[in-house]
Amino acid sequence: MKSIKQFIYLVFAVMFSYSYAQQTPASPQKEAISIKGATAYIGNGNQIENSIIVFENGKITYVGTDQSQAKGKVINAEGKNVYPGFIAPNSTLGLVEVDAVRASDDERELGKMLPHVRSIIAYNTESKLVESMRPNGVLMGQITPRGGRISGTSSIVQFDAWNWEDAIIKENDAVHVNWPSGFSRSGNWYDADRRYEQNKDYQKEVDELKTYFKSASVYKETSQEIDLAKRAMQGVFDGNKNLFIHVNGEKEIRDVISFQKEINFNNLTIVGGYQAHQLADELKEAGISVLIQRVHSVPNFEDDDYDLPYKLPKILHEAGVLVALEGSGDMERQNSRNLPFYAGTAVAYGLDKNEALKMITLNTAKILGIDDQVGSLEVGKDATLFISEGDALEMRGNKLMKAFIQGRDISLESHQTELYKRYSEKYENE
């Protein structure tokens, strides 16, 4: 009986999820498009007043102030702002649709060392959550698996595609490792007397991870024996893949820095990095970049500054560390649309606005290894950008007028905007 009820719930969930069809992906760009008169926030720290931006065949061909460069269809954006598309790294968008429906949850696999698990083949371009990112200017993301000691391999996509093959910007860009934690919290989250307890197996777990990496580094494939997991690791050692290590504690981050020196690889990024500011100088010297945990968080410890999560981007930036913002955590897929507001909060706590913008555009692109394609409004890059009526890092100002992905004029409608319009009309008529 229980299984029958679960089946019925699943059927209704699927029927409801398809009652609002996703917007059809836009057609390829057919003519030149010029955006005229806007303030262009380039994404590299610069901005241009009364700008002209031209793009053809999905690529930017001119950015400047010479109005005579306009060609093709001209969009008058006077008084508006133009931004490069925002990028959401370390995201599970498209891997889970409804948390309570197990059949729609494909963010993790069983096992411990899973570098060969590729998130991209599970990515759902029809996801309603993915579609709802676009009205806030979040047009791209790094789709990342979860679970295990080595979760798997991520890929980077744009959010207007028929299928995952169409969506790819960079396939198999990075391997993701969950570093062991030196401490764990006892009890449930609602217990007032929860305490941190030392992980007695911490060093054993670190040694196990090191042994796996050393074994993978000397792996030689033969026709008689193929290890798919170790084959997937080879890109980390030859520089074709980045390594993303998810870690937060000061001791653990220090051990990651030592791990980098011992294994000797270059493309390393720390994800989370709650206490990264304690080791900012060491991170800069080692050339390790940081994807900072969700800015809209509360402090982890009683003796932390109340505003530490808000000002962490500024602290690390001023120390010379390459920083970008990510949004993993509770309800991370729904909250990914708040990415520009994480940057806006960092501005409110002292970070320069153009530097904050870089943390969700060009800095992110550099960390992901796609800065030759996206991340800034520069000639030769993809025309993935949008026009906002106001400041896109501020909730009231982030109101998109137009958005383009690789030059395609994409829809900004979603099931949420449809419901907004429906109920707006209802109350307007009463």
Give tens-digit pLDDT for 333-359. Answer: 888 999 999 999 999 999 999 999 999
> pLDDT tier at 266 (50, 70, 90 boundaries)?
confident
Q: 154, 193, 156: which is closest to 174 by C-alpha?
A: 154
For the beta carbon of residue 67, count every other beta carbon within 10 angstroms.
13
Q: Which amino acid is at 341?
A: F
pLDDT at 18 over 60: no
> pLDDT tier at 426 (50, 70, 90 boundaries)?
confident
What is the structure's pLDDT at 101? 83
Residue percentage of the chain with pLDDT more than 70: 92
What is the structure's pLDDT at 196? 74
> What does pTM read for this prediction?
0.91
pLDDT at 364 over 60: yes
pLDDT at 430 over 70: no
Q: Which residue has the higher pLDDT, 347 or 188?
A: 347
**Local structure of 251: helix, strand or coil:** helix
| Tens-digit pLDDT profile for residues 195-248 | 778 889 999 999 999 999 999 999 887 767 888 999 999 999 999 999 999 999
The answer to whether the CB of 107 falls within 8 A of the CB of 53 is: no
Q: Which residue has the higher pLDDT, 266 or 35?
A: 35
Q: How far is CA 9 from CA 47, 175, 382, in A?
A: 51, 36, 43
Query: Which tokens hold the place of 181?
Result: 């934690």
Domains and CATH numbers, the chain: 21-85+375-430 (2.30.40.10), 86-372 (3.20.20.140)
